Amino acid sequence: MNIGIDIDDTMTDTTKLANAILHNEYPNLNIKDYHELKKEDFIKFCELHLPEIQKYMVLKDGVVETLKFWKKKGYKIYIITARGSKGMNFLIPITLEFLKNNNIPYDEIIFKQERKGNACKNKNIDIFIDDKEKVLDEVKKKNPNIRTIRFLNKKEVSKHESVRSWFEINI
């Protein structure tokens, strides 16, 4: 079995931490989420604050245990992430260090994947886990037989199979 997994807001609570920094550092900005920044401001924010965010970012409960369990079962784990895209190559070594420091088991990491459907197809992913509906829609469109699981953090609903905890994922 090949399992594909996103990092931000799937394995971690990146947005929550980034938004806390955004609102603390830039209290006069009238936006709720750092993803709403203009492209050039988003890149500047990431360059300035992502090393700090990575330093304090916490894994969601059960991530390491679940991934270790899957590895023992012989599953292949592919981390498929948009990190490194949009000229943000500086995120690649930061990400690799974060994964190593947190003992995250995986077989391969695929960076710069804003659209993850092709990566899932190329790696014959059976199950893909992400927090974004539009990402899962695109993956499903390219790979109709793939099982998609959406990691929800709020009282959202999804047309994809949904979980709110790593302990809920049944494979």
For residue 126, the domain's CATH number is 3.40.50.1000
Q: How far apart are CA 102 and CA 157, in angstroms?
A: 30
In a domain? residue 19: no
Instruction: Quote the pTM value.
Output: 0.91
Q: Which domain holds residue 90?
A: 2-14+57-168
Structural contact between residues 59 and 102, judged by C-beta atoms closer than 8 angstroms: yes
Structure-token match 């994922």, residue found = 169
For the chain, 171 residues long, give each residue's pLDDT as a single digit of tens.
999 999 999 999 888 899 999 999 888 888 989 989 988 888 889 889 987 887 788 899 999 999 999 999 999 999 999 988 887 888 899 899 999 999 999 999 999 998 999 999 999 999 999 999 999 999 999 999 999 999 997 778 899 999 999 999 988
| In a domain? residue 26 | no
Q: Could you give the number of structural domains in the chain?
A: 1
Q: Is residue 108 part of a domain?
A: yes
Contact of 19 with 34, CB cutoff 8 Å = yes
10: exposed, middle or buried (C-beta count within 10 Å: 0-12, 13-18, 19+)? buried
In angstroms, the first-to-last Cα distance of the chain is 10
**What is the SS3 assignment for 42?**
helix
- Is 63 within the bounds of a domain? yes
- Has residue 123 been placed in a domain? yes
